[in-house]
Amino acid sequence: MSHRRASATPLFTPHNIDRAQRRTLRKQTAQAEARARTAAGADAEQQPTEAAYPDAVYPLAGRPGPASARGSRLKLPAHRMTTAVASAAYPFLAEGGLGADGIYIGRDLHAEGSFTFDPFSLYGKVEGFTNPNLLLAGVIGQGKSALAKSLALRSVAFGYRVYVPCDPKGEWSAVAAALGGTSIALGPGLPGRLNPLDAAPRPASVPQAEWEGEVRKRRLLLLGSLARTVLGRDLLPMEHTVLDVALDAASARAAASGRPPLLGDIAHALADGPGLDLAGGLLAGRLGEAARDLAHAMRRLVFGDLAGMFDAPSTSAFNPYSPMLSIDLSRLGGSDDTALVLAMTCASAWMEAALTDPYGGRRWVIYDEAWRLMRHPALLMRMQAQWKLSRGLGIANAMVIHRLSDLLTAGDAGSQSRALAEGLLADCSTRVIYRQETDQLHAAAGLLGLTSVETAALSHLSRGRGLWKVAGRSFVVQHQLHPAELQLFDTDARMH
């Protein structure tokens, strides 16, 4: 090959020569170029032609059109500056990205590259990435649900299973159906029943006694949160004892007839003052009284507007092999907000109990419209406890809310709600912030520790565009929807 290489010497023009010399050199350059061209041409004729490569389907820049997601070319007017200025104004700084693992989300608007995400492959890769959970916040209609649905739909191809424990708008059923999964619809007149006190099958690795303690703990957690939500206050120490005793009484009664306890059994035990006193032993004579408020709170679930839905043996068995399962609560009807929130909690508890298999593989549990639960500190705390339990089970939780101040639960003492909010944020290494109302920017910036540039960006985000904070690193990402997804996820169409 070396005989084909043209010497570079004639191409070099020394700095301090006169015009005549420069002309001679230019001539030599032209001659050298001509020689190199003829040599190359002659060679090409002599050499056997190689098998032609097939024509590329796409140019280097990828498939034409926005579907390539490669961004548009950067076009800027030419500009000259000294190196002293250029070193300060160097514009080509972009995030290195999170790597190419996981599902494609869309376009990283600053780096002009593809943005992909997999919560489990970021461990050890990104500093401070301690959990796979995701928080998604933004005003209505910005495409939060669409993003959550894309996460679900696209993750299935990577072996994830998807669980949507409460779907108050019924918008996930179509997604579940499209993925070959199932959805359970609950509502007055519908046949579906879920018993939130169902015990999950014991994982083989957990000893029997330990598992029974675990199941009991979960049931107590649920009962306590339901009672606190209906009563709108914290439980008294005595009331905790009452719930304890009532749960044991109800469990014993149910076990005698070989079935799991029902909320009706709990209500029954709570209403039975003398029975509680007897079971309470040492504290006899006082439990019955303390149970009064609790008995009324449980009544709401058993005889109130939710009657029949959560106080009967479950009609659906949990199928761990289904790619997706959602619980549709859109047909609860004209119930008030508390009823919907209680239903969301019962449905979540039922599904979460079923997800205890440590070998169940990678799973997404998606709480869409979770802002409804946020207003009740008891439910927020229950959810946090559940997230702690899901650690180590290969479960990534995603929570969708409107604004970050939703986390600073209303009516609660300032410092406690702040601690709750910060705890929940700490439990979400990934925070995706879609557009926020102007009056929310301050709270968002404070809670997330945003820079002024990030804060300003939040109020200008358009649909499908969000600020992704992944353990301290920031990206502005445009979520790219496939036309088939757009059709499947469309919530606008149903609203009109």
Ligand X SMILES: Nc1ncnc2c1ncn2[C@@H]1O[C@H](COP(=O)(O)OP(=O)(O)O)[C@@H](O)[C@H]1O
| Residues in contact with Mg ion by the rule CB under 5 A | 145
Residue number, 145 or 251, with CB nearest to Mg ion: 145
> Candidates 256-264, 377-385, 448-456, 483-491 — which segment interacts with ligand X by CB under 6 A?
483-491
CB of 458 vs ligand X, minimal distance in Å: 15
Q: Which is nearer to ligand X, 394 or 464 (CB)?
A: 464
Interface map 439-468 toward ligand X (x if CB under 6 A): ------------------------xx----
> Residues 98, 134, 146, 398: which binds ligand X (CB under 6 A)?
146
- 138 makes contact, choosing from Mg ion, ligand X, none, with CB < 5 to 8 Å by partner type, with ligand X
Output the six-digit token pair for 331.
Answer: 């047909």
Contact region for ligand X (CB under 6 A) — 54-62, 142-150, 381-389, 449-457?
A: 142-150
Q: Select 145 or 314, whichever has its Cβ closest to Mg ion.
A: 145
**Residue 363 interacting entry, from Mg ion, ligand X, none, C-beta within 5 to 8 Å by type:** none
Say whether residue 229 binds ligand X (CB under 6 A). no
For residue 402, state whether it binds ligand X (rule: CB under 6 A). no
| Among 97, 141, 188, 323, contact with ligand X (rule: CB under 6 A) | 141
- Give the nearest distance from C-beta 142 to Mg ion in angstroms: 9
For 479, phi then psi, to 5°, come to -70, 125
| Residue 114 interface partner, choices Mg ion, ligand X, none, CB cut-off 5-8 Å depending on type | none
Of 144, 493, 140, 166, the C-alpha closest to 332 is 166
Pick the binder of ligand X from 140, 157, 282, 317 (CB under 6 A).
140
Residue carrying structure tokens 């998807």? 162
187-201 burial string, b = 16+ CB within 10 Å, else e?
Answer: beeeebbbbbbbbbe
CA-CA distance, 200 to 350, in Å (whole number)?
9
Residue (391 or 463) nearer to ligand X, CB: 463
Which residues, 4 to 33, sit near ligand X by CB under 6 A? none
CA atoms of 322 and 182, how far apart (whole Å): 7
Nearest distance, CB of residue 487 and ligand X, angstroms: 9
Question: By CB under 6 A, is residue 57 in contact with ligand X?
Answer: no
433 binds ligand X (CB under 6 A): no
| Closer Cβ to ligand X, 297 or 373, answer by number | 373
**248 part of the interface to ligand X, by CB under 6 A:** no
Subset of residues 93 to 132 that bind ligand X, contact rule: CB under 6 A: none
377's contact among Mg ion, ligand X, none, with CB below 5 to 8 A by partner kind, is none
Burial class (CB in 10 A: 0-12, 13-18, 19+), 147: buried
List the single partner that 394 binds among ligand X, Mg ion, none, CB under 5 to 8 Å by kind. none
Longest dimension (CA), the chain: 118
429 binds ligand X (CB under 6 A): no
Question: What, of Mg ion, ligand X, none, does residue 479 touch, CB below 5 to 8 Å by kind?
Answer: ligand X
322 binds, among ligand X, Mg ion, none (CB under 5 to 8 A by kind): none
d(CA 35, CA 299): 98
If one asks whether residue 145 binds ligand X (CB under 6 A), the answer comes out as yes
End-to-end CA distance of the chain: 70
Output 112 or 248, the one with its CB closest to ligand X: 112
Going 253 to 254 to 256 to 260, the CA torsion angle's sign is negative
| 138 contributes a contact to ligand X by CB under 6 A | yes
437 forms part of the interface with ligand X (CB under 6 A): no
- C-alpha–C-alpha distance, residues 30 and 13, integer Å: 13
| Binds ligand X (CB under 6 A): choice among 60, 157, 492, 496 | 492
Residues forming contacts to ligand X in the complex (CB under 6 A) are: 138, 140-146, 463-464, 479, 481, 486, 489-492
